Amino acid sequence: MTATLYTNARIVTCDGQVSRDPAAGALEVQTEAGRITAVGPDLPRRGQKIVDCGGRMMTPALIDCHTHLVFGGDRANEFEMRLDGVAYEEIARQGGGIRASMLATRAMSVEELVQASLPRLDHLLAEGVTTVEIKSGYGLSIEAELNMLRAARRLGQIRPVRVLTTWLAAHALPPEYAGRHAAYIQEVAIAGLEAAHAEGLVDAVDAFCEGIAFSSAMLEPLFLRAQALGLPVKIHSEQLSHQGGTALAARFNALSADHLEHATAADAALMAASGTVATLLPGAFYMLRETVLPPVQAFRDHGVPMALSTDCNPGTSPLTSVLLTMNMGATLFRLTVAECLLAVTANAARALGLQGETGRIAPGLSADLALWNVTRPAQLVARIGFNPLHTRIFQGKSQ
């Protein structure tokens, strides 16, 4: 197999320093058999296929590390209710919210879920995404949760994309378990996790730690089971209130804690010690018109890596644009341009345990690259509703 040499690009490796103004041609990238084999100035010519990038900017391909992309139905009606002043938590208490999506999701076959989710996935891919995490969490019964992850795996087979699947049965309490949180965790979240794991459907385990969902004490048995199965954990924590989910997750060396608007500096210190990534989800913050900002400066001070993700879901973040997410990370959360780019590449890879596989332009990693019709990272983050993707490269193959 011949190698490919990408020349005349402004390469932002996201491996260490993110360059503000990469110079065209200063670095070259060589790929072979789907991997990056060399990065550097003036790489030796030895018969590789030469791709002249025309002075364009090249970055690692983008990663969406927190999505609920597979679901049935839509919840535009709840959007209207919120415009009328009804709070998200109130809608959930009235049986809307996650439970409304549960009814629509349970009614669909795996194939129907795949078809409903494909346009959302395709929208991400069109923006240079090559890795997507997809959670269960709208089935809330063992079989319906398994079907969501079967659909997620299928999406990864029919499109050129790396799909990571996350077991999020502990997302909400279905009506048949009303008032019986502990029983739900045992009989559905844990029993189903074992079935899903046996079927090869689980890359990580997640849970929603919130007043309207589960307390950290309720979630501990689930995380213990995940740990026993050798599965990494993640958590939705401190989104609407401070519940202590981040501290629980840090005790289990979670890959990431996500949302975190109500997290504290003490949480940041725990995350730093456990190597847990802070995944910020500005789409949900925006949709819910939240006002409490995540403690970004505390994450910086403690050296907690920050990721950004769409949180693509039918209720609080019907967002399928990683580029817009970067813009929101900067505008709403005051991340720098360099932080925004790392947040959807190197740090997003870390949030999935994939730091040795993708998310940086470095020798040995998968050749997952994006070539853009811009010359500087700021041009990727500054614009709204604009897609400058020129070429998406997944495992060395251009699309």
Q: Which residue has the tokens 């608007």?
A: 261
- Per-residue contact string for residues 152-171; x = within reach of ligand DI6 by CB under 6 A: -------------------x
Q: Of ligand DI6, Fe ion, none, which one sits near residue 208, judging by CB under 5 to 8 A according to partner kind?
A: ligand DI6
Give dist(CA 105, CA 143) in Å, integer. 11
In 24-172, which residue ranges form alpha helices assigned H by DSSP? 76-83, 88-93, 98-106, 110-125, 142-158
| Closer to ligand DI6 by Cβ: residue 43 or 248 | 248
Angle at 79 between CA 76 and CA 81, to 5 degrees: 115
Q: What does the DSSP 8-state code read for residue 188? A: I
Q: Which residue has the tokens 């346009």?
A: 119
The correct pick among 261, 311, 339, 368 for binding ligand DI6 (CB under 6 A) is: 311
Which of 390, 373, 363, 399 lies closest to 29, judged by CA? 363
- For the bound state, the minimum distance from the C-beta of residue 92 to ligand DI6, rounded and expressed in Å, comes to 7
Residue linked to tokens 């065209």: 24
316 touches ligand DI6 (CB under 6 A): yes
Task: For Fe ion, give the closer residue by CB, 210 or 311.
Answer: 311
Q: Which is nearer to ligand DI6, 59 or 256 (CB)?
A: 256
Out of ligand DI6, Fe ion, none, what residue 98 binds, judged by CB under 5 to 8 A for its kind, is ligand DI6
Question: Residue 206 or 368: which CB sits closer to Fe ion?
Answer: 206
Strands 49-52 and 57-60, sheet pairing: unpaired
Q: Name beta bridge partners: 140.
A: none
Q: Are strands 129-135 and 49-52 parallel, antiparallel or unpaired?
A: unpaired
Q: Counting contacts by CB under 6 A, is residue 314 touching ligand DI6? A: yes
The interface mask with Fe ion, positions 25-44, x = CB under 5 A, is: --------------------
CA pair distance 392, 378, nearest whole angstrom: 19
Among 60, 97, 295, 359, binds ligand DI6 (CB under 6 A): 97
**Would you give the distance in Å from CA 57 to the centre of its chain?**
23
Helix axes 98-106, 142-158, angle to 10 degrees: 80
Residue nearest to ligand DI6 (CB): 315
- Residue pair 215/187 in contact (Cβ under 8 Å)? The answer is no
Asked if 98 is part of the footprint of ligand DI6 (rule: CB under 6 A), the reply reads yes
Q: Which of 261, 311, 339, 368 binds Fe ion (CB under 5 A)?
A: 311
Exactly one of 139, 315, 359, 377 binds ligand DI6 (CB under 6 A); that residue is 315
Size of the residue set binding ligand DI6 (CB under 6 A): 14
Query: For Fe ion, which is the closer residue by CB, 290 or 311?
Result: 311
Residue 102 CA: distances (Å) to CA of 8, 42, 107, 129, 171: 50, 55, 9, 27, 10
Rounded least distance, CB 321 to ligand DI6, Å = 16
Length of the chain equals: 399
313 in contact with ligand DI6 (CB under 6 A): yes
- Please choose, out of 16-24, 33-41, 95-103, 309-317, the segment that lies near Fe ion by the rule CB under 5 A: 309-317
Tokens of 360: 């940086």
Question: Which of 27/185 has CB closer to ligand DI6?
Answer: 185
Taking CB under 6 A as the binding criterion, the range among 56-64, 96-104, 123-131, 241-249 that sits at the site for ligand DI6 is 96-104
Task: Say whether residue 236 binds ligand DI6 (CB under 6 A).
Answer: yes
Among 208, 252, 299, 333, binds ligand DI6 (CB under 6 A): 208
Amino acid residing at 186: Q
| Helix (H), strand (E) at residue 237 | strand 234-237
Tell me which residues touch Fe ion (CB under 5 A). 311
